[in-house]
């Protein structure tokens, strides 16, 4: 059986300590037992047990979240590219609609739609042209400009 691939760290999850903190259940207490990103994604359940990750439900929980991350299921904020000190800033911006003519409404201009985007720290607009912005997943706009989560 080939070794499972090791996904690259993301700006929001750059190291094992952050990963363990984000998944919760006090898993960050085991950070010293998982020294590298490669170890996080290659240690077996038996190896985790030998290193002291106890009880078994904690190992299963860690393995579950490890597989979700490996499969690209990062959770809210996992798709952010502009992250500074663990914080990603979000803004509501209007972007051009790629298909059809969209009529103007009370909350948006003609030919435009509102999306939530990740922006650099302290910025009001994304660092890429509006035609190329990628909306942040798992968040939506409520009303005219309120950002809400799942």
What is this structure's pTM? Answer: 0.73
Selection from 113, 120, 116 nearest residue 92 by Cα = 116
The predicted-structure confidence for 81-104, as pLDDT tens digits, reads as follows 898 888 899 999 998 887 767 776
Contact 96, 129 (CB under 8 A): no
The predicted-structure confidence for 35-53, as pLDDT tens digits, reads as follows 999 999 999 999 999 999 9
């Amino acid at each position: 059986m080939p070794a499972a691939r090791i996904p690259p760290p993301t700006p929001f999850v750059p190291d094992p300590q952050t990963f363990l903190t984000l998944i919760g259940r006090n898993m960050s207490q085991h950070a010293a037992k998982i020294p590298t990103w490669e170890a996080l994604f290659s240690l077996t359940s038996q190896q985790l047990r030998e290193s002291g990750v106890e009880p078994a439900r904690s190992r299963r929980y860690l393995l579950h979240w490890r597989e979700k991350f490996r499969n690209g299921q990062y959770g809210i904020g996992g798709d952010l590219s502009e992250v500074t000190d663990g914080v990603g800033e979000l803004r509501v911006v209007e972007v051009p609609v790629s298909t059809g003519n969209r009529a103007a409404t009370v909350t948006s201009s003609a030919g435009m739609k509102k999306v939530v985007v990740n922006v650099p720290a302290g910025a009001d607009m994304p660092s890429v042209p509006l035609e190329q912005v990628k909306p942040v997943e798992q968040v939506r706009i409520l009303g005219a400009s309120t950002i809400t989560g799942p």
